[in-house]
Amino acid sequence: MSTTSAPTPADEIDGATVEVIRNYLTSAATEMQRTLIRTAYNTIIYEILDFGISMYDADRRLVADSPGLSMFLGANDYGLRRTVEHLGEENLNPGDIILCNYPYWSSTHTLDVLVIKPVFLDEELIGYTASRAHWLDLGAKDEGYVLDSTDMHQEGVIFPGTKVYKEGEPDEEIMDLIRFNSRIPDKTLGDLNAQIAALQTGADRLRSLHEKYGTDTVETAIESVIDHGERTARDAVEDLPDGSWSAVGYGDGITSDPDDLLRIEAEVTIEGDEFTVDLSGSSDQIDAPLNVPLGMSQTLAKLAFKSITTPDEDSNEGQYEPLSLEVPPGNMFNPEYPAPTFTLWTAFLAVDVIYEALAKAVPEKVSASSGGDLCDIMLYGEDPETGRAFVEALNEGVGWGGNDVRDGPNALMHIAESMVRNIPIEVFENKAPIQFDGLSLRQDSGGPGAYRGGLGIKRDYRFTAPCGGLSIIQKTKTEGWGLEGGEPGAKNVVVLDLEDGWEDRVQLLVDNEELYDEAGENLKFVGMMRGQFEPGETISNRSGGGGGYGHPLDRDPEAVREDVIDGYVSPEGAREDYGVVVSADGELDREATEELRAERRE
């Protein structure tokens, strides 16, 4: 006997029903996320949460999401539309599962594979579920990550919108294509199946919702939710001042020239209830994998926009209606085929540049710059115990910027990563031949200010067996920014302590005389690297700090003393950056501090 309730007529829908349906969809997206975490094979998914989950109505409008990597969610919107346009909606059938990793459509690099399921009820298309997750290998020219590709065909096998399931049955030829083009096929196919399980979970919930309330009622409720999202966002934009503001930042170029930088320019224009981000002044596309597909560029604009308009509300399509992005074809943020896009770290840097522009309009809504990067270390090779291939990655937290009421938080994932986590040390040491010698906050890395920027971290890796390794790191040549007299935080840096002959094993994608410390012993580099490492050699990853807010000489001396006691600021840093005299054991010399600050102010 069926217990399904009779559908509610669309003309009788009330606010309570709308809220029930809205929260049901959000809950369904969260259930999709949990399914993916519980069934995924790789730590980058189930520990780091390097994925994005989204649900759409039949018109391909976002109705719910469940954040992992926040930069994936808007990318899912663009990727879904382009994929369905390519296939044709009329060619979709119940039981189909579609893959897309063509960068210019899927919106990100080839390993962030978008998997889509059209959802049908009684042969009628009622929506879509989508899952994007980072696969660790799909036939790219290098293991782990591609750092020096010159066109997209070096970056892996391309699926432009390919049915891996057709009407509920797997296409074994496509499965074989994936299997034979991956260095770790079992894990790759395992993660694909985890994504499919998540999509099926969402599809079941969407069908149940339509069966309970009726399609007319559900569609009316969704229309109400989207309309409310648009009104709320437009009201928020109306409350912002009208005008145009711009900012310029820089990414590291992958060359030996330290002055060869990638220009990132953002102009924000607010006019009434319309909000425009213009990236046209940024560098042209380059023959290096730092280009950002258009869908991802839309996403970074969405992230900044939502954070100052509807930050406390669940996402839906309507909230982004006031936003538009301008960037011409051939720009680094709208590259054309066959531009490479694999190492698109410039996208994360661009978020901070948009915020810097916004800070000129609404400084009370924006913090100073973050450490500006994800600071990844990735290890790969053959497990010395099992002989099986492995790939493992670690993102590092960075300092966030201070604002007009508080210090910046320490060691958080970059805002572009949203709810991404790090892998516990015990898990990582079990997955790769590595020993962690230390993990700590990076002293003196927070930008000085009346409100200090947050600290980055210092993590020391020691290899216990031969192993491949690489770093994906940006914002090593140029600093971030403070606000209202605050100063930038420390730049990102990696220090390698290697045996003789490292030059034959390690490729530095940036190399200059400044790479060596004063003793000439350790090798520092300001950019990305790839190499083969021997037992006993070490990598020290040191992430950047957030910018300060307000002049450092206005910081409460007692707060500086507490920072010294906590190890956030050294006694030397207290004197040099804040004009505060604190002994090594934490005693504050108020008289000497007043004299020193008076001298500095003069």
- Nearest of 374, 573, 338, 554 to residue 474 by alpha carbon: 374
Instruction: Tell the burial category of 575 from Cβ atoms under 10 Å away from its Cβ (0-12, 13-18, 19+).
Output: middle
Residue 72: per-residue pLDDT: 87
469 - beta bridge partners?
379, 531
DSSP assignment letter at 483: B
Answer whether 287's CB lies under 8 Å from 340's CB: yes
What's the pTM? Answer: 0.94
As a whole number, mean pLDDT of residues 457-470 equals 96
pLDDT > 90? residue 191: yes
pLDDT > 70? residue 523: no
Residue 3: per-residue pLDDT: 40
pLDDT > 70? residue 532: yes
pLDDT > 80? residue 469: yes
As a whole number, mean pLDDT of residues 467-496 equals 92
pLDDT-derived band at 520, boundaries 50, 70, 90: low
Residue 519: per-residue pLDDT: 56
Report the distance separating Cα 316 and Cα 337, nearest Å. Answer: 31
Residue 94: per-residue pLDDT: 98
Q: Which residue reads 């579920």 in tokens?
A: 129
What whole-number percentage of the chain has pLDDT above 90?
Answer: 83
As a whole number, mean pLDDT of residues 544-565 equals 97
- Give the pLDDT confidence of 339-364 residue by residue, as tens digits: 999 998 899 999 999 999 999 999 99
Residue 73: per-residue pLDDT: 77
* CA distances from residue 209 to 7, 25, 87 in whole angstroms, order as listed: 10, 9, 27
DSSP assignment letter at 91: G
pLDDT > 60? residue 513: no
E-state strands within 421-552: 434-441, 457-463, 467-472, 493-497, 506-508, 523-525, 529-533, 538-542
- How many Cα atoms occupy the beta-carbon half-sphere of 467 within 13 Å? 27
The number of beta carbons lying within 10 Å of the beta carbon of residue 129 is: 28
As a whole number, mean pLDDT of residues 424-434 equals 94
Residue 212: per-residue pLDDT: 96
As a whole number, mean pLDDT of residues 22-51 equals 96
pLDDT > 50? residue 5: no
Answer whether 329's CB lies under 8 Å from 289's CB: no
- Give the pLDDT confidence of 106-134 residue by residue, as tens digits: 999 999 999 999 999 999 999 999 999 99
Report the distance separating Cα 426 and Cα 469, nearest Å. Answer: 19
Residue 477: per-residue pLDDT: 85
pLDDT > 90? residue 276: yes
pLDDT > 90? residue 318: yes
Residue 500: per-residue pLDDT: 85
- H/E/C letters for each residue in 446-473? CCCCCECCCCCEEEEEEECCCEEEEEEC
- Give the pLDDT confidence of 146-186 residue by residue, as tens digits: 999 999 999 999 999 999 999 999 999 999 999 999 999 99
173 or 519: whose pLDDT is higher?
173
- Give the pLDDT confidence of 482-495 residue by residue, as tens digits: 999 999 999 998 88
Residue 57: per-residue pLDDT: 98
- Give the pLDDT confidence of 360-389 residue by residue, as tens digits: 999 999 999 999 888 899 999 999 989 999
Residue 512: per-residue pLDDT: 47
Task: Calculate the CA 84 to chain-centre distance.
Answer: 25
As a whole number, mean pLDDT of residues 298-318 equals 95
Arithmetic mean of pLDDT over the chain:
93
β-strands 506-508, 529-533 pairing: antiparallel
Question: Crossing angle, helix 294-309 and helix 215-238, to 10 degrees?
Answer: 70
- Give the pLDDT confidence of 213-271 residue by residue, as tens digits: 999 999 999 999 999 999 999 999 999 999 999 999 999 887 656 568 999 999 999 99
DSSP assignment letter at 412: B
| Span of 62-66, 225-229, 521-525 with lowest mean pLDDT | 521-525
Q: Is the peptide bond before 185 cis (omega within 30 degrees of 0)?
A: no
Q: Which residues contact 523 (CB under 8 A, 6 or more apart)?
A: 495, 496, 497, 498, 502, 515, 516
Residue 518: per-residue pLDDT: 52
